[in-house]
Structures are given as C-alpha cells and as structure tokens.
Amino acid sequence: MREVLAKGLSKRVEDAVIKRWYFEEGDSVTKGDDLLDLVSEDKSIVTITVPVTGILAEVFFDKGETVQRDEVLCLIDEEETRLRGDGDDEEDEDGASEPDLDESEDDF
C-alpha cells in the first residue's frame, strides 16, 4: 500500500481543506492523474496527483475536512492492480474468454 500525503503546501501553511476528490474508494487510478484538490489558508489551490497506478483502497478524509501538512490522505493498493492482471486476456462482448486455438489436434 502506498500512502498519499498532503504535500505541496507552502512552508508557512500548516493545513488545508479538501475541495474535491476526483475518485472514490475502489476506483482504479493511474500515476499522474489528478487525485484531489486542497485549498490552503491563503486560498491557493494545490492539486495532489496519483503517485502510483493502483486501486484507491482507503480515503481518510471527506470533502470539506481540514488536513495537516504531510498527513496521510489515502492509501493506494498497487498489489491489487497486479492481481487483477494487465488486461491481456481477450474477452468477447459478453465477457467470455476466447478459447485457446493453439491446442494440437493430432491425437488420432
């Protein structure tokens, strides 16, 4: 699990309010995507991006809550993405897997 911290606030700002989450718990997230916006005391908006590709496993604060600088905001599960696979399995429109056509039929 990767912790996502309230980073990017200026040194003179100790806390910020969560303005918006771009994803919900259980959503797949990709490294570099916008994850959430924080509004600091000086009214500047800081956007926290996704540090690793994975699943947004747990969110510790809701929109409108105040967070401290360097506080853990959420957890991203990198392992869950690997366990689900990378999408190489071919599926038809109904979600059924394609049969393996490489089987030998020389068993006469």
Whole-angstrom Cα Rg for the chain: 21
Residue 13 lies inside a defined structural domain of this protein: yes
CATH of the domain at 65: 2.40.50.100
Structure confidence by residue, pLDDT tens digits, 85-97: 554 444 444 444 4
Give residue-wise pLDDT tens across range 1-33. Answer: 999 999 888 788 889 999 999 999 999 999 999
Domain annotation covers residue 24? yes
Residue 76: domain span:
2-84
Confirm whether pTM is higher than 0.75. no
CA atoms within a 13 Å half-sphere pointing along the CA-CB vector of 104: 3
**Count: domains in the chain:** 1
Write a three-state SS string for 69-93.
CCCEEEEEEHHHHHHHCCCCCCECC
Mean pLDDT, the chain, whole residue set: 82
